[in-house]
Amino acid sequence: MGQKHDKLDLVYILGDASDWDNNEIRYSLRSSANFPHRNVFVIGERLTWLQNVIHIPYLDRHQVKTANGVAKIMRAARDKRISERFVLMNDDFFFLKKQRTVPYYYRGKTGEFIDQHRTKAGYYYQTLINTEKFLIKRGIKNPKDYAVHAPIIYEKSHLRKLMSKELRGCSLRSVYCNLMKVRAKKTEDFKANTLDEFKYQIHRKAPIFSSSDEIVKERTFLDWISTKFPNSSKYELDNWQINLI
**Looking at domain 9-228, does it have CATH number 3.90.550?**
yes
Would you state the pLDDT for residue 245? 61
Residue 97: CB atoms within 10 A of its CB come to: 11
How far is residue 216's CA from residue 70's CA, in Å, rounded to a whole number? 25
H helix intervals, the chain:
23-31, 65-77, 110-116, 123-137, 156-161, 172-180, 195-204, 219-228
Would you state the pLDDT for residue 1? 44
69-128 pLDDT per residue, tens: 999 999 999 999 999 999 999 999 999 999 999 999 999 999 999 999 999 999 899 999
168-196 pLDDT per residue, tens: 899 999 999 999 999 999 999 999 999 99
Confidence of residue 6 (pLDDT cuts 50, 70, 90): low
Domain ranges, ordered by start, for the chain: 9-228
